[in-house]
Chain A
Amino acid sequence: MQGLAKDKESAVGNAGDAPPSPRRAYQRLLQQRLLLGLAMLAALALLLLIALGSGSYQLGPSAVAAALLAGPSPADQEQLVAAQVIWSLRLPRVITALLAGASLGLAGAVLQGLLRNRLASPFTLGISQGAALGATCAIVLFDAGALHAVGTEAMTLQAPMSVVGLALAGGLGAAALILMIGTLRGLTPEAVVLAGIALGAFASAATMIVQYFASDTQAAATLFWTFGDLGRAGWSELAWLAAALVAIGVWPLRAAWHYNALAWGDDLARGLGVSVARQRLIGTAAAAALAAITTAFLGVIGFIGLIAPHLIRLLIGGDQRFLLPFSALAGALILLAADTLARVLIAPVMLPVGAVTALLGAPLLLVLLLRQRR
């Protein structure tokens, strides 16, 4: 017994003798975070293979890899069906999940950081609903889209520019309102979210009224904005999403240090040389634009922007240099997982992913609200 105790003591003593210097400990922390990032990338790759293989036409990981390598039009006739399924059906959908999830995760992280509000996200602030209202107006008032009656539920937007434009206007308008309410009235985080929920409800009601006056085909085309669904996007929509994510996403990522300062309050950030109003304006606009463009093509997908930053903050803390990109990664992971689940849960019926994320996310929002009160 004594010997054991002594061993323990000496072990503790040894640990105490050479504690890692604060600097080394910090550098080790950074390495761990990079490892986590790599692990998330690996998980994403794995999930990608699973998602591409699952569905009513089952494919094993090796078959998926073979089909991917063979290209969209393989010489081998036997591989034709697999190529068809992978390249024209599943790959666009899966990449859409990645891009939309990353956009929403990043947008949520940016909003939470800039508004210092852990309940903020494109969905809880009404930005997504505002964008959906804009897109619906574009369809109904300007006849910008129509539903493909043939084949899958694919929808083509006859005038994607006007749909995206009005969705942007709706999303940015909602963001501007929230920013004004939050800044002018100095509201608590809960109150800002309540304002956002009111705004979202208003936008949803307005969307319904616009739909009420739409023709049948238009109404069918607009309906899908209420439940976000990844099935509609083709390669051209993907290009839009990718371009938006890259072009808009760099702004907040470049400003991560400034966001770190903002976490300590406006005055302290100003004292560190941060132009607070400018950062908040640019960042919120970027987040709103990302969410609006995603919504314009896919409809309202809630809670990704709320959950993803939360998970990451729990794992690595609040350093925005990691929090922002990792939230994008986590958003991609969650949305892809949710969509795969939505496809296989009651196959061959494919549930809209927006309904699944809402089912999973709403309880989480409740938990967060309850914890925030303490």
Chain B
Amino acid sequence: MLEIDRLSFSYARGTSSKAAGRHGALGPSCDVSAVSADSAVGNGRPLLLDQLNLSVASGELLAVLGPNGVGKSTLLKLIAGLLPCKQGRIGIDTTDLNALSRRERAQRIAYLPQMTEIASVTVFEAVLLGRLPHLGLQPSERDLAMVETMLCDLGLAPLSGRRVSRLSGGELQKVVIARALVQEPRLLLLDEPVNHLDLRNQIAVLRSIQALTRAHALITLVVLHDLNLALRFADRFLLLGPHAAVTTGCMEALASEAVGAAYGITVIRGEVGGLPVMVPVVSAAS
């Protein structure tokens, strides 16, 4: 059970880290710090998130939705412990996150950032890295066995010896997810895991995330931009809008009004072939 209690944060300097990390440079992505609500108000900066309360149960897949810049990535970084949580409380299974060391946190939480660099290693080595928080000096036979099992589960075994740089986008995403899973997390945080993937791979990746979430009773948070993928695969949603507006509920409750208000467009929710869909309305005037 992930429990978020009265979590607030505002814009911090350097939130534009997305552009900086792109060239493999040492971007300022590290020093995005979420400022506590008090100082944020004092500085006149608007709150991105005001007193968020949320709890997600084991085996549940929560879609984090909302337009660019509302703080989806910041929320994930806060939960992952990459940013200090100053205002509010985040706990997993009754453990306060702030009470954990880096290593202890990494043993419980796997976090996939929006963009990663690609190291020049093989698929096996890339996945083995996920054991780092549990590692002694060297990987044990058990670590290696776990990596092997995960590679087989995700159908990556034939690629095991290949350099990661030679993989397709879909394969690479699976490798990164495999690494997150051998971390044996309770909590899986995925920041836009299906961007840059084709339709088939989007579905394949999300389906395996959904299956693994249920099989391992994980708590999974996925930032998604595609509302229809969210409708298909998520159990619940967290919709962040401008001015710290927050809506949450099960996918059936994702109303077109709330989505329209968050994104500032008109959306219609309907059904096609028995499947729920959400379609933006583009009027001539706008």
Chain A: residues with CB nearer than 8 A to chain B? 19, 21-23, 25-27, 29, 115-117, 182-184, 186-189, 191-192, 257-258, 260-261, 263-268, 270-277, 313, 317-319
Q: Is the CB of A268 within 8 A of B144?
A: no
- Bound-complex Cα distance A267 to B125 (A): 19
Q: Is the CB of B120 within 8 A of A271?
A: no
Tell me which residues across on chain A come within 8 A of B111, comparing CB atoms. 267-268, 270-271
Q: Is the CB of B133 within 8 A of A268?
A: no
Scoring B82, B120, B152, B163 by chain A CB atoms within 10 A of each residue's CB, the highest score goes to B120
| Choice from B23, B25, B130, B148 contacting A22 with Cβ under 8 Å | B148
Pick 19 A–B contacts, CB within 8 A, sort by A: A22-B147, A26-B161, A116-B26, A182-B26, A183-B28, A189-B24, A257-B129, A260-B119, A260-B121, A261-B129, A266-B26, A266-B30, A267-B111, A272-B132, A273-B102, A273-B133, A274-B132, A319-B121, A319-B125
Tell me which residues across on chain A come within 8 A of B183, comparing CB atoms. 272
- Bound-complex Cα distance A362 to B117 (A): 28
Chain A contact surface mostly: helix
Scoring A182, A184, A258, A265 by chain B CB atoms within 10 A of each residue's CB, the highest score goes to A265
Tell me which residues across on chain B come within 8 A of A27, comparing CB atoms. 144
- Bound-complex Cα distance A317 to B27 (A): 24
Scoring A266, A267, A275, A317 by chain B CB atoms within 10 A of each residue's CB, the highest score goes to A267
B21 at the interface (CB under 8 A from A): yes
- If A22-B152, A116-B25 are given as contacts, then 20 extra A-B residue pairs at C-beta distance below 8 Å, sorted by A number, are A26-B160, A26-B161, A116-B24, A186-B21, A186-B25, A188-B25, A189-B24, A192-B26, A257-B132, A264-B119, A265-B115, A266-B26, A266-B30, A267-B113, A268-B116, A270-B30, A271-B111, A273-B132, A317-B125, A317-B163
Min distance, Cβ A209 to any Cβ of chain B, angstroms: 32
Q: Is the CB of B116 within 8 A of A264?
A: yes
Q: Is the CB of A192 within 8 A of B25?
A: yes
Output the nearest chain A residue to B158 by Cβ-Cβ distance.
Answer: A19
Tell me which residues across on chain B come within 8 A of A318, comparing CB atoms. 119-121
Output the nearest chain B residue to A19 by Cβ-Cβ distance.
Answer: B158
Q: Is the CB of A25 within 8 A of B102?
A: no
Chain B: residues with CB nearer than 8 A to chain A? 20-21, 23-30, 77, 80-82, 102-103, 105-107, 109-113, 115-122, 124-125, 128-130, 132-133, 135, 144-145, 147-148, 151-152, 157-158, 160-161, 163, 183
- Bound-complex Cα distance A317 to B147 (A): 19
Q: Is the CB of A261 within 8 A of B132?
A: yes
Tell me which residues across on chain B come within 8 A of A274, comparing CB atoms. 102, 132
Output the nearest chain B residue to A27 by Cβ-Cβ distance.
Answer: B144
- Bound-complex Cα distance A276 to B26 (A): 11
- Bound-complex Cα distance A317 to B165 (A): 11
Q: Is the CB of A263 within 8 A of B20?
A: no
Output the nearest chain B residue to A184 by Cβ-Cβ distance.
Answer: B28
Q: Is the CB of B117 within 8 A of A265?
A: yes
Q: Is the CB of A272 within 8 A of B120?
A: no
Q: Is the CB of B102 within 8 A of A186?
A: no
Tell me which residues across on chain A come within 8 A of B29, comparing CB atoms. 265-267
Tell me which residues across on chain B come within 8 A of A29, comparing CB atoms. 122, 161
Q: Is the CB of B130 within 8 A of A272?
A: yes
Q: 4 smallest A-B Cβ distances: which pairs?
A: A273-B106, A271-B111, A263-B119, A22-B160
Tell me which residues across on chain B come within 8 A of A186, comparing CB atoms. 20-21, 25-28
Output the nearest chain A residue to B119 by Cβ-Cβ distance.
Answer: A263
- Bound-complex Cα distance A27 to B145 (A): 12
| Choice from A184, A188, A261, A263 contacting B23 with Cβ under 8 Å | A188
Min distance, Cβ A258 to any Cβ of chain B, angstroms: 8
Tell me which residues across on chain A come within 8 A of B105, comparing CB atoms. 273
- Bound-complex Cα distance A272 to B106 (A): 5
- Bound-complex Cα distance A99 to B124 (A): 34
Output the nearest chain A residue to B107 by Cβ-Cβ distance.
Answer: A273
Given A257-B135, A276-B30: A313 touches B120 (CB 8 Å cut-off): yes
Q: Is the CB of A260 within 8 A of B129?
A: yes
- Bound-complex Cα distance A187 to B19 (A): 11
- Bound-complex Cα distance A42 to B153 (A): 42
Q: Is the CB of A115 within 8 A of B82?
A: no
Q: Is the CB of B145 within 8 A of A23?
A: yes
Min distance, Cβ A32 to any Cβ of chain B, angstroms: 11
Tell me which residues across on chain A come within 8 A of B82, comparing CB atoms. 267, 270-271
- Bound-complex Cα distance A313 to B96 (A): 42
Tell me which residues across on chain B come within 8 A of A264, comparing CB atoms. 116-119, 129
Q: Is the CB of A189 within 8 A of B23?
A: yes
Q: Is the CB of B25 within 8 A of A189?
A: yes
Min distance, Cβ A274 to any Cβ of chain B, angstroms: 8
- Bound-complex Cα distance A21 to B149 (A): 10
- Bound-complex Cα distance A277 to B26 (A): 11
Given A266-B30, A272-B130: A25 touches B125 (CB 8 Å cut-off): no
Given A21-B148, A23-B147, A116-B24: A268 touches B124 (CB 8 Å cut-off): no
Q: Is the CB of B161 within 8 A of A271?
A: no
Min distance, Cβ B136 to any Cβ of chain A, angstroms: 10
Q: Is the CB of B21 within 8 A of A265?
A: yes
Given A186-B20, A257-B135, A272-B129: A265 touches B160 (CB 8 Å cut-off): no
Tell me which residues across on chain A come within 8 A of B77, comparing CB atoms. 267
Output the nearest chain B residue to A271 by Cβ-Cβ distance.
Answer: B111
